[in-house]
Structure 1
Amino acid sequence: MTTLVGEMAVAAGKRVAVGGNLGTPALDLLSDDVELYVMELSSFQLENTDQLNAEVATVLNISEDHMDRYSGLPAYHLAKHRIFRGARQVVVNRQDALSRPLIGEGLPCWTFGLNKPDFHGFGLREENGEKYLAFQFENLMPVRELKVRGAHNQANALAALALGHAVGLPFDAMLASLREFTGLEHRCQWLREHDGVHYYNDSKATNVGAALAAIEGLGSDIDGKLVLIAGGDGKGADFSALRAPVAEHCRAAVLLGRDAELIAQALGDAVTLVRVDTVQAAVEQSARLAQRGDAVLLSPACASLDMFKNYEERGRVFAQAVECLS
């Protein structure tokens, strides 16, 4: 989503720097020739930030992450919400109460969500069987024109529109960028279709919340079922929230890594469970389990450091294994 906002700003003719927790470190972007900084900041980075004073700030959603660092969800929540300190405007996910800051009266607040938009809100509206991205009472563009799939990508598009609108980007430039945006590597990235099964690399899903978004978003957008590949270093997370969406959207779950057994315990008998030792074996097993019309989704809900250098390496190994299917 950070990259998307940056592309929207470029399309609007702005001199933009994009980075932080994504790509270039924030301090390396300091320049007198930049009109707009688009920053993605982690809870770790925000711990060292007293007053960010952003023109507009948002927390897209909050779920358990880094529970090996924080005493619990409230402590993680407080760290994430440091992003709102000194903000002149805020963007809020109206379907996630934990993302909403305690803001002073009169501070401009824009909202986004997958329901109908309200005043100052971005959302989805359906007319004559066609679903639209919408702002307040105006349809902006049909959802089918997005090149990225899934409800979670629709939510990201709406959040990007809200942030861009808050800093004055024109809708025509933002919508043109949305129509061309194909997504990023390792973020629910479509890889290929093989024997009627589609393969998606969501290695960036290093926590339960990110995996839930992919499972629910992609699972509701395909005709068949998902075969989920999950596991790794869970960082002390509670995996119980995976059980219901996995039961609803998945045909099977292929588990690997340090905390595979913890995920298996959380899923119980919700779906068929298979345990493997390598990503290559996970892809082979998933290909056997999947049926035509299904999708195989690597969305680990865990960090990668028990098996890989980082999530990028994990995603590349997965993509290579998928490419080798014959």
Structure 2
Amino acid sequence: MDRWHHIHKVVVVGLGITGLSVVNYLRKYQPQVAVQVIDTRQSPPGLELLDSRIPRCIGDWQLDWLLSADLVVTNPGIALATPQIQQVRDANIPVVGDVELFAWHVDKPVIAITGSNGKSTVTDLTGVLANASGIKTAVGGNIGVPALDLLQEDAELYVLELSSFQLETTQHLSVVAAAFLNLSEDHMDRYISMDDYREAKQRIFLHADTAVYNADDPTTQPDTAVANRLSFGLHHPADYTLAEHHHTSYLCAHGQPVLPAADLRLVGMHNIANVLTVLALLDAAGVSYQSGLDALKSYTGLTHRCQLVADNQGIIWVNDSKATNVASTEAALSGLHLKGTLYLLVGGVGKGADFSPLADYFKALPLKLCCFGRDGKQFLALHPSAEYFDSIENIIQIIRPQLQAGDMVMLSPACASFDQFRSFMHRGDVFTELARRYA
């Protein structure tokens, strides 16, 4: 079906990496279409890379362009409830996102992943394991490379991370397997309710051959009819789970052992669940991953997400700087198994959060709590071991002589970084450099 037959004029709303990828795609694959660009920001990112011949309206809406378009392609950051976009929809002009254009074009199998937490790790690891298994796989979407740019790669399989915002404007994405990992409160400035947010995530199952859902989170079960369903989970019966075989804990698929859990270098039970999801997705896509298991064993995680950055003399150093809220730190600590003491670095800018839910996690661990940053003193009452330090460097210098084999040093701050660092990435890089220097 040629969806472009009646489309002569396209307005792209929002520049940045995604908007530029849409413009470049249209110029390359649909050169017969007239393209116009609108961005209400005064200095939108990517403006200097936009072909000077393309008409643009910067710093304001150009409503007459929108209402004379055959198709409007909007950036995921722009809510469909925006009055100008609502006027377009009321005029029966289709409003889509870049992933919908990808769906119209792609002719190879696609795996798609969504969820409130963990989707970047699952997406990345799915690509790593598929490539290691001999399937040429392109990875992108909400992580790294925009979906349309992936079409330039000679891929046999595409793996996409999709946000709820992207799914709102996607109607026709057919996937061999789709995963909905979990649901927790987020983006409540965009959604009316949690049900509204969940409904957007559920769109990932619209045209899925297999739905992969979390047996431990009922909200992830597909609402729509899907030909096949696979579950992963750690606490409820699931197709992909942990089980004991010969006194050893294994990751299992349909009751069959795949890999001893101890062979993974990933840290935290949430990452065990992430790996189980990857196995389910690849099985659903028909990818035989047995030959790629060495890549899975050596995978240390995405940068700044429970990333193993040093392991020396039995002392493990973990960079989880991406944990900028309480829920992320809870995930990092949940089910953590230690031979020695956990030296946990917390603090920064708390954004008004209530840190008290962490106290139960702290109580369950052999812990030394190391607090730093603007709001670090708010953690002091949560554990008897808590101590306040001026900086991350000060913490590492003082604890280094105490560290022994079996100990873990983890940066999982539960706070934003902009009191002492440029970004959470900068914070994680500083920790990683110190870890490697002192390891």
- Alpha-carbon distance change, 110 to 19 in structure 1, aligned in 2, over 3 angstroms: same
Question: Which of these residues, 151, 154, 162, is aligned with residue 272 of structure 2?
Answer: 154
Shift of 1:138: 1.6
In 2, are the aligned partners of 1:208 and 1:239 still within 8 Å (CA)? Answer: yes
Query: How many angstroms apart in 2 are the aligned matches of 1:315 and 1:295?
Result: 16
Q: Which runs of 5+ in 1 are unaligned?
A: none
Match of 1:312 in 2: 425
Q: Structure 2: which amino acid aligns with 1:323?
A: R
- Alpha-carbon distance change, 80 to 253 in structure 1, aligned in 2, over 3 angstroms: farther
- Greater shift, 22-31 or 277-286, is seen at 277-286
Residue-by-residue CA offset, 1:102-158 (whole Å, 9 max, x unaligned)? 232x5311111225854xx11111022111111112222222332334423322211
Query: How many angstroms apart in 2 are the aligned matches of 1:258 and 1:75?
Result: 35
In 1, are the aligned partners of 2:316 and 2:407 still within 8 Å (CA)? Answer: yes
Q: Structure 2: which amino acid aligns with 1:41?
A: L
Question: Which of these residues, 201, 208, 218, is aligned with residue 319 of structure 2?
Answer: 201
Shift of 1:38: 0.9
Shift of 1:88: 3.1
Match of 1:111 in 2: 231
SS in 1 for 2:179: strand
Relative to the length of structure 1, the TM-score reads: 0.81
Shift of 1:244: 1.2
Counterpart check, 1:135 vs 2:135 = no
Match of 1:36 in 2: 157
Match of 1:14 in 2: 135
Question: Which of these residues, 187, 207, 213, is aligned with residue 92 of structure 1?
Answer: 213
Counterpart check, 1:270 vs 2:383 = yes
RMSD value, Cα: 3.2
Match of 2:361 in 1: 245
Residue-by-residue CA offset, 1:249-292 (whole Å, 9 max, x unaligned)? 1523233445545x52xx84434333345332343455477666
Shift of 1:239: 3.7
Residue-by-residue CA offset, 1:154-199 (whole Å, 9 max, x unaligned)? 2221111001111111142353442343433322222335786432
Shift of 1:75: 5.1
Shift of 1:313: 1.7
Shift of 1:214: 1.6
Q: Structure 2: which amino acid aligns with 1:98?
A: T
- Alpha-carbon distance change, 162 to 14 in structure 1, aligned in 2, over 3 angstroms: same
Shift of 1:65: 4.0
Query: How many angstroms apart in 1 are the aligned matches of 2:146 and 2:374?
Result: 30
In 1, are the aligned partners of 2:216 and 2:236 still within 8 Å (CA)? Answer: no
In 2, are the aligned partners of 1:64 and 1:209 still within 8 Å (CA)? Answer: no
Give the length in aligned residue pairs: 318
Residue-by-residue CA offset, 1:69-93 (whole Å, 9 max, x unaligned)? 6666555444444433433321111
Query: How many angstroms apart in 2 are the aligned matches of 1:10 and 1:35?
Result: 10
Match of 1:322 in 2: 435
Query: How many angstroms apart in 1 are the aligned matches of 2:385 and 2:334?
Result: 18
In 1, are the aligned partners of 2:183 and 2:220 still within 8 Å (CA)? Answer: yes
Counterpart check, 1:55 vs 2:171 = no
Shift of 1:24: 1.9
Shift of 1:98: 3.3
Query: How many angstroms apart in 2 are the aligned matches of 1:75 and 1:239?
Result: 27
In 2, are the aligned partners of 1:58 and 1:90 still within 8 Å (CA)? Answer: yes
> How many percent identity over aligned positions?
42
In 2, are the aligned partners of 1:229 and 1:255 still within 8 Å (CA)? Answer: yes
- Alpha-carbon distance change, 250 to 45 in structure 1, aligned in 2, over 3 angstroms: farther
Match of 1:295 in 2: 408
Query: How many angstroms apart in 2 are the aligned matches of 1:5 and 1:125?
Result: 22
Pairwise mapping of residues 247-262 of structure 1 onto structure 2 (< 5 A)?
247-257=363-373, 259-260=375-376
- Alpha-carbon distance change, 20 to 231 in structure 1, aligned in 2, over 3 angstroms: farther
Relative to the length of structure 2, the TM-score reads: 0.63
Q: Structure 2: which amino acid aligns with 1:84?
A: F
Query: How many angstroms apart in 2 are the aligned matches of 1:185 and 1:236?
Result: 26
- Alpha-carbon distance change, 59 to 240 in structure 1, aligned in 2, over 3 angstroms: farther
Q: Structure 1: which amino acid aligns with 2:245?
A: E
Match of 1:210 in 2: 328
Q: Structure 1: which amino acid aligns with 2:136?
A: R
Question: Which of these residues, 181, 185, 190, is aligned with residue 308 of structure 2?
Answer: 190
Query: How many angstroms apart in 2 are the aligned matches of 1:193 and 1:276?
Result: 24
Q: Structure 1: which amino acid aligns with 2:322?
A: K
SS in 2 for 1:318: helix
Counterpart check, 1:280 vs 2:396 = no
- Alpha-carbon distance change, 314 to 155 in structure 1, aligned in 2, over 3 angstroms: same
Query: How many angstroms apart in 1 are the aligned matches of 2:168 and 2:417?
Result: 23
Shift of 1:307: 4.2
In 2, are the aligned partners of 1:226 and 1:250 still within 8 Å (CA)? Answer: yes
SS in 1 for 2:438: coil
Query: How many angstroms apart in 2 are the aligned matches of 1:89 and 1:315?
Result: 36
